[in-house]
Amino acid sequence: MRMRPNVSRNTGRLLQVFSMHCEARRTRQTRRKKQDEISRRRLLVGAGKSGQLKHFFVAWIERFLRAEDVRIVDFGAGTGLLAQLLERHAGKRVRCLEPAENMKAHLPDDTLDSLGECSADSLDFIYSSNVLEHIEDDKSIERGMCRTLRPGGRVFLYLPAFQCLFSALDRKVGHYRRYDKAMVRRLFPDDTWKILSLHYADSLGFAGSLWFKAFGKVRAAYSLPPLIFYDRVLFPLSRAIDWITQGTVVGKNILFCAEKL
């Protein structure tokens, strides 16, 4: 039976509308991905330019860095901002380790891909900022650090704290977990490591993260002005609270340093 002309025309229009809808949807998805990438880059640049948090982290490293520590590795160096700051302030040569190809354009030619490239007992100091939570098998990293550090060598870590703060933002940036003190102690057992420091940091950040988990939007987390405001205004206040509480109560992050036995 032949289809009536008007039915055929209506079917054609429906197909055309459906095709246009699919194309518009693909265009929106492509535009959204580009906007997310631009936001991530702005966030990265902003984090590098905002000094409070970066200088706070470097100041903590310097507390545990000794004069004889010359073989230093930045584990998960990113664009190398922390390595540059540490070299500038402590006068130490830092070798970067970064497996992500899109980051290596910012890093020296001798950048490492993994700790497997380092021989046993060859390093004096390893530090890392917000990296282990991106690695599913973090125990393998602890074993690699233990193998490559000399006896008496030190590891310094800055980690996201409290699984109760785990949110859509953690999932979006590829976090497998957030840590607490008990988890860190299990990861770095006392038969292999002597813990020199283990406490929470950024008390106000804990409250802010709880609020974000309940009410925040993931896309808003990439906005540069709030990041700069928090870094320049709220983070110094948070540090004052941490000084009063001695990092024993809560915090958005964990500061950890241990020495290989």
pLDDT of residue 156: 97
| CA atoms of 162 and 252, how far apart (whole Å) | 7
Q: Output the pLDDT for position 46.
A: 44
DSSP at 111: -
Report residue 23 CA to chain centroid gap: 35
Distance between CA atoms of residues 235 and 228, nearest Å: 10
pLDDT of the residue at 6: 57
**Where does residue 173 rank: exposed (0-12), middle (13-18), buried (19+ CB within 10 A)?**
middle
State residue 124's pLDDT score.
97
> What's the whole-model pTM score?
0.79
Q: Which pLDDT belongs to residue 194?
A: 98
pLDDT of 9: 62
Residue 165: φ, ψ to 5°: -90, -5
CA 221 and chain centroid, separation: 14
* Rounded Cα gap, residues 88 and 224, in angstroms: 26
Domain boundaries, the chain: 1-38, 50-260
Q: What is the DSSP letter of 150?
A: E
d(CA 143, CA 44): 30
Helix, strand or coil, per DSSP, at residue 105: coil
Determine how many CB atoms are found less than 10 A away from the CB of residue 67.
Answer: 6
- Extract the residue ranges of the chain whose pLDDT is less than 70: 1-12, 14-15, 17-18, 21, 29-53, 217-227
What pLDDT is stored for residue 14 in this prediction?
A: 67
Tokens of 21: 């809808």
SS3 at position 94: strand
| CATH no., domain 50-260 | 3.40.50.150
CA distance 75 to 54: 15
**What are the tokens at 127?**
């530090």
Both structure tokens of 167: 């949110």
**Distance between CA atoms of 8 and 2, rounded to whole angstroms?**
10
The upper half-sphere exposure of residue 13, i.e. CA atoms within 13 Å in the direction of its Cβ, equals 6
3-class SS of residue 234: helix
